[in-house]
Structures are given as structure tokens and as C-alpha cells.
């Protein structure tokens, strides 16, 4: 069985991307701050891009200022991209449905006014391992999944995965 050159090139690019940079998604809902930092370290994350519209939390250590300090102590950069946040009037669709309505509204928000923030995320992910942060444990019911999908539309070979 022979492997065609195009198939080999495609495979090697995929392997290269997996070893290198890209977008990882993470939700902190069930984590303590030390567990969160350990997960980032396990995956070699170099920067956290917080995509919460308002980066505050009742969970200790996850509000913007304290999170930025803790990440800095772990040599991980913190960036808040407010323009990638999900507005309050769109959150119910992600929690209770209809999910597709929420996804569509988020996509429109990103296409109409948040394009620069999305471009900054993609540019950063080409250069380092970036974790996109929000609250929800799984990205299926979180707007960060829409962000990742649109980032891959900009950069189709961008490596993306979720941290559980």
C-alpha cells in the first residue's frame, strides 16, 4: 500500500499542528483555581484568553484581577477579550435552548463588530498555545465553541481541542 504525497503532507501538517500551537477551550465551573492551573500546565498553555463578557466570578480565584495574578505567577499570560463575550440576552439559548438560536446570534455578533478580537485570537493561536476560557465545563453549550468554529474558518489548519 502506498501513501500519496498529498496524503503524507496532510498527515505531517496535522502532526505538526498537534505538537505546536492552537486553541484549547476550558471551562472552570467545577474546578478550584489550583486544579485549573494544573490543567493549563499539563497542556502547555502559554496564554489564557478570557471570553467572558464580564470577567467576574463567585468562584474564588476566577475574577479578572485575581485570575490574572495567579496566571502571571504560573508564567501564563492573561488577556480579556470582552468583544468575544456572550451578551446576557443570548445566554438562555445556550443553557436551555434552542441552542441553534444562541449559536446563530453569537455568530452574528462575531461577524458584526467582534472581527478584530477574533483575528487577534487566531493570530495569537498561530504563535502559542492559547486556552479560551469561559465558565461552562463543556463547550457544547457555551459560546466558546462558536468562537473556535469561526477561528477555524479563518485558519482551517488551526489545531483546536477541549481541556476536560
Classify residue 2 as left (phi > 0), alpha (psi -120 to 50) or beta.
beta
The model's pTM is 0.86
pLDDT-based confidence at residue 10 (cuts at 50, 70, 90): very low
Average pLDDT, integer, range 127-150: 95
Is residue 73 within a helix (H) or strand (E), and if so which, with residue range? helix 64-73
C-alpha 163/C-alpha 14 separation (Å) is: 19
pLDDT at 18: 43
Assigned C-alpha cell, 32: 478550584
pLDDT-based confidence at residue 92 (cuts at 50, 70, 90): very high
C-alpha 55/C-alpha 82 separation (Å) is: 8
The CA radius of gyration of the chain, in Å to the nearest whole number, is 16
Query: What residues form DSSP beta bridges with 26?
Result: 133
pLDDT at 20: 62
User: Domains of the chain by range and CATH?
Assistant: 21-162 (3.40.1010)
Q: Give the closest residue to 107 by CA, choosing from 96, 124, 93, 128.
A: 93
Coil, strand or helix at 78: strand
Amino acid at each position: 500500500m502506498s501513501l500519496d504525497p498529498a496524503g503524507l503532507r496532510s498527515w505531517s501538517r496535522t502532526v505538526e499542528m498537534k505538537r505546536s500551537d492552537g486553541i484549547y477551550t476550558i471551562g472552570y465551573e467545577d474546578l478550584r483555581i489550583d486544579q485549573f492551573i494544573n490543567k493549563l500546565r499539563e497542556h502547555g498553555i502559554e496564554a489564557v484568553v478570557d471570553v467572558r463578557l464580564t470577567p467576574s466570578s463567585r468562584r474564588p480565584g476566577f475574577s479578572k484581577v485575581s485570575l490574572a495574578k495567579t496566571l502571571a505567577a504560573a508564567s501564563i499570560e492573561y488577556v480579556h477579550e470582552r468583544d468575544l463575550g456572550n451578551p446576557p440576552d443570548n445566554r438562555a439559548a445556550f443553557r436551555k435552548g434552542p441552542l441553534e438560536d444562541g449559536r446563530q446570534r453569537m455568530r452574528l455578533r462575531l461577524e458584526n463588530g467582534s472581527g478584530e478580537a477574533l483575528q487577534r485570537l487566531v493570530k495569537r493561536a498561530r504563535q502559542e498555545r492559547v486556552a479560551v476560557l469561559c465558565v461552562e465545563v463543556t463547550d457544547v453549550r457555551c459560546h466558546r465553541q462558536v468562537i473556535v468554529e469561526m477561528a477555524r474558518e479563518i485558519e482551517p489548519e488551526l489545531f483546536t481541542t477541549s481541556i476536560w
